Structure 1
């Protein structure tokens, strides 16, 4: 399990340290450095998973494209050396990148297999989980596939099944692994029509859009999969299935997030940017609770969010003893000039935070003050 990442001269960070828990929440105003902290992890991940990297730390690759090393160097760095140090399991792995001579940019590391959990950052990027065929590393970026008539079938995805950084393989994953059952005592399981992955995906999706069901149609000749969404309410007949393009953004946008949190095997690592996008506040809160349940089962979850409703779902889960306060990390990113700083409010057993820094999801209170003025 990753416990800490230290950054040197990386983008907006001259020097920074970010601690990680079972569930880590990164929040703050736009442009404060939340994504940069995640991108440091992704640079390492795509370098380790790419056999052609040949010792180079890839600033352009499978998960992200940050340009040349000089584009990543902090504006006021005193040297051209960029450092990423990841700690976990009692040891550390250090990666170094030089911003000059990009064709010769190299990284060095030590104790990598003891510092980074094999199944999350090394082996899982190249090999499937032994019992499910689904990768233990999943990354979903903020710009995901919205409503589409079809989504692709990926040949290589059936072997080391990643959901895709845009969630583009979510339907393919459900088509292949949707009948795989979850354990009855899995914290992620809620009341629904069954224990299969697709049943539980529908059960959680119903909390976002009541009565929704998924129907899949695979066109292997064209390497495409189509999803239809039908709706029902108590005492009424189910509607015909509608195209994804006719049911709005929210359902299509959240489906990969739900499936990733349900399908990733125990011991995995999930990174999701803005899971709350296009969702009603009720759905945002439910996603916070699902992330807490995924962390409870033994998956490390890292979330970047702007949603206080999502945070409330996590806080309620702590109050309900789904997670211990020590398992959750809240980080608030803020800037002074070109330097990013991080505040880390602590959470107690009742879900209360130790402090609310200025700008830390406090807009509702500020708006209420304006509305209550005479």
Structure 2
């Protein structure tokens, strides 16, 4: 049985965006560094690619295990502990003596980096229902910039000091964030008096009673799987065809940041036109991006022009992915306001499971069919997401299931 309590104090939206950026960036440092890591350990691209998979698997498990605590414990203290654990995990990755140790450390890093999704569900609490999309878009901008600029940071730092120093510097950043959070964030007590075991049981209740949550989770997983196809294999493409290193691969994160800036606009469009409309636009952009990215050899055009095509494709790719993500989270956070951390747990666990599968499949596609195989795989995933979207629920389905979900949660 759960009982409602008054909402806790408010925290600034920009700071929540920064918190999300700091947390989520840690799981993307390895993507532009995979080639350097393979050289360090004398491994193949196929084997080293699973470092990215391991981090995403850890992240998915962390969201399942830790994010529901946001509905159970005081969230400021919870986040401080998790950022400290992230800092320790980063140091373990930095000193890994072998590839197996690196993969194990990456799982641990992903596990605690799920702190991002303890912070994100706070955003809708700070605004009215009508402005939920705008609030999520604002915080998501920070999260998305963290994802993209992490690659830039990693590429540039590794170019100067080597890949291990990327994780050392990141550990210092995350450790410094612990006292900063104590100073800036107010105490954030849970909205309900709820035991952890009950919170975990209610995850299945939410999944079972919310068809819109199930639909959003599947679409999100397929979209993020297609997104991960590009970023997992970009470093291999740039090296094999252009002789470019991690620094250039990381610089593509700056390019992608231009696409990430669409997140606030996507939130406002979701408030105005509905989330389903925004998801439709996002999927069209995703598909268009991979048609732009297709083609691994600059056969009839110059290398420079081919790279320009990659740049445009990256911007469109990120715009489509971010529009879809903001719209998905806008609609799931409107389902059961008192269970937003758990709603986010279900959604993001499925979402990052999709990312891990996408990274694994992209690594296999690269080994066997190179870049065109990766693009074909990504387009297939987008097609599956589009099929689920076309046969799915309307946004107003949330209202029809909200009362049933609340009753089910009371019985859980």
Q: Which range, TM-score by smaller chain? A: under 0.3
The TM-score normalised by the length of structure 1 is: 0.27
Greater RCO structure (CA 8 Å; 6+ sep): 2
* Structure with the larger strand share: 1
The TM-score normalised by the length of structure 2 is: 0.26
* Structure with the larger helix share: 2
